[in-house]
Amino acid sequence: YPHLTVKNNMALGLKQAGTPTAEIERRIKIASAMLSLEPYLERRPAELSGGQRQRVAIGRAVVREPKLFLFDEPLSNLDAALRVNTRLEIAQLHRRLRATMIYVTHDQVEAMTLADKIVVLNAGRIEQIGSPMELYNSPANEFVAGFIGSPKMNFIDGARLGETAKTIGVRPEHLTVDANSGAWKGTVVHAEHLGADTNLYLDCEKAGLITVRIFGVYNAEPGATLYATPDAAKTYRLGADGKVLR
């Protein structure tokens, strides 16, 4: 409510429910600390940024400690650092309150890190339901396989590899590279050095443009020749309908 301070916005639902003042103060203190809102408790919404308003909205829900939370992309307006912190706090809140949370997001990292169970929707249709690792290890189809995982799964025309399957899928982290030999000869197009990881983009004679994720530092200059080899046990075969072939 624009005419109320942050503190009073967070307290309103509790006051209407007849919650004791001391309990209201306690819950606001916990929620505001969790969401880094302490400096803004006496401000009004017009004095806040979009991200700060988003945190106030989360805080209003948190202080009520309901049995069911519905979060509709609550972190979308937060900066990267605060998004990570708030994601952690929501996970801790979930464990502390043991409340059911329905969390809507387009961010697969949020889905993977927060969910006990994920429902993957595509144009209003349920593609698959399962735990994060079930979806990662056993995707039902190309849509789920491409949505879960970062960088996203490589999809290769099966005919290029001499396969009967329409498409072959392999995750970047399930490929290894070697300077001398391997299944697919390729040229380094670009290398992303992320510190803990290195993402290589290879243009391969057989597979086309693929992404390889290497854990740790790997020095490769654009134009260099490398050979990529997929882990056969972690390669997916997809039919013409996009479904994973068992």
pLDDT tens profile 120-134:
999 999 999 999 999
Architecture of domain 152-238: Beta Barrel (2.40)
Whether residue 186 contacts residue 153, with contact meaning beta carbons closer than 8 Å, is answered with no
Looking at residue 198, its pLDDT comes to 96
Averaged pLDDT, 188-197: 95
Looking at residue 97, its pLDDT comes to 76
Looking at residue 81, its pLDDT comes to 81
**Could you tell me the fold of the domain covering 6-116?**
Rossmann fold (3.40.50)
Count of C-beta atoms within a 10 Å radius of residue 223: 8
Handedness of CA 54, 59, 62, 64 (dihedral sign): negative
Q: Residue 23 above 90 pLDDT?
A: yes
Q: How far apart are CA 110 and CA 113, in angstroms?
A: 5
**Token digits of residue 193:** 């050095």
Q: 128 vs 96, which has greater pLDDT?
A: 128
Looking at residue 161, its pLDDT comes to 93
Whether residue 174 contacts residue 242, with contact meaning beta carbons closer than 8 Å, is answered with no
Q: Residue 77 above 80 pLDDT?
A: no
pLDDT (tens digit per residue) in 132-147: 999 999 999 999 999 9
Looking at residue 6, its pLDDT comes to 96
Nearest Cα to Cα of residue 156 among 146, 141, 166: 166
Count of C-beta atoms within a 10 Å radius of residue 130: 19
Whole-number Cα distances in Å, 64 to 40, 168, 246: 20, 48, 46
Looking at residue 51, its pLDDT comes to 77
- The pLDDT-based confidence of 83 (bands split at 50, 70, 90) is confident
Nearest Cα to Cα of residue 41 among 74, 31, 82: 31
pLDDT (tens digit per residue) in 222-239: 999 999 999 999 999 999
Q: Where are the domains of the chain?
A: 6-116, 152-238
Looking at residue 170, its pLDDT comes to 98
Looking at residue 21, its pLDDT comes to 96
pLDDT (tens digit per residue) in 6-18: 999 999 999 999 9
Q: Residue 86 above 90 pLDDT?
A: no
Q: Is cis: bond before 151, omega within 30 of 0?
A: yes
Q: Residue 96 above 90 pLDDT?
A: no
Whether residue 194 contacts residue 239, with contact meaning beta carbons closer than 8 Å, is answered with no
Same CATH topology for 6-116 and 152-238: the answer is no
Q: Residue 47 above 90 pLDDT?
A: yes
Q: 244 vs 34, which has greater pLDDT?
A: 244
- Cα atoms in the 13 Å half-sphere on the side-chain side of 60: 20
Averaged pLDDT, 207-211: 97
Q: Is 128 exposed, middle or buried (0-12, 13-18, 19+ CB in 10 A)?
A: buried
pLDDT above 70 as % of the chain = 100
The 8-class DSSP code of residue 19 comes to -
- The pLDDT-based confidence of 203 (bands split at 50, 70, 90) is very high
Q: 90 vs 180, which has greater pLDDT?
A: 180
